[in-house]
């Protein structure tokens, strides 16, 4: 049979099937952009909150003391310090590498066993939310 317009369009617009062979393997560096941008950075933000706990607590105390509306004006310097600390810790290359390694470990565990580490609430709580 000849090439129909639909086949021509599909061949022109869809990637070749051979590109997808082996992409689901346990390649240690097999990470998609969405996983890096969203999941790994979310982990980095969670860890940054532990590192910046003093500036976060200082800002929270200032807001409680001054009130929410006027407190934003009075506590502007503490807010800027908190934002700077969180941004510096989140975007630090070592933090991103640590979170990327942790995510790849979780992803490999899921691919081998079929169970997510995040499904276990107790493990998730112990991993992220206990203060150091």
**CB-count exposure of residue 81 (10 Å: 0-12, 13-18, 19+):** middle
**CB-count exposure of residue 59 (10 Å: 0-12, 13-18, 19+):** buried
| Cα separations in angstroms, 90 against 21, 60, 85 | 34, 20, 8
For the chain, the C-alpha Rg in angstroms (whole number) is: 23
Measure the CA–CA gap between 62 and 75, rounded to whole angstroms: 6
**Percentage, residues of the chain above pLDDT 90:** 31
Average pLDDT score over the chain: 78
Measure the CA–CA gap between 84 and 89, rounded to whole angstroms: 8
Measure the CA–CA gap between 76 and 62, rounded to whole angstroms: 10
What pLDDT, in 10s, does the model give residues 68-81?
777 788 899 999 99
What pLDDT, in 10s, does the model give residues 71-126?
788 899 999 999 999 999 999 999 999 998 888 888 887 777 777 666 555 555 55
């Amino acid at each position: 049979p000849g090439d129909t317009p639909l086949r021509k369009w599909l061949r022109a617009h869809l990637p070749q099937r051979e590109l997808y062979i082996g992409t689901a393997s346990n390649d240690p560096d097999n990470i998609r952009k969405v996983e890096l941008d969203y999941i790994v950075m979310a982990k980095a933000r969670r860890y940054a909150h532990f590192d910046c706990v003093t500036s976060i607590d200082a800002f929270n105390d200032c807001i409680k003391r001054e009130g929410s509306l006027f407190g934003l004006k009075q506590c502007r310097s503490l807010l800027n310090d908190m934002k700077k600390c969180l941004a510096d810790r989140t975007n630090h290359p070592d933090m991103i590498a640590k979170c990327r390694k942790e995510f790849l470990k979780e992803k490999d565990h899921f691919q081998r066993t079929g169970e997510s580490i995040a499904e276990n609430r107790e493990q998730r709580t112990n991993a992220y939310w206990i203060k150091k």
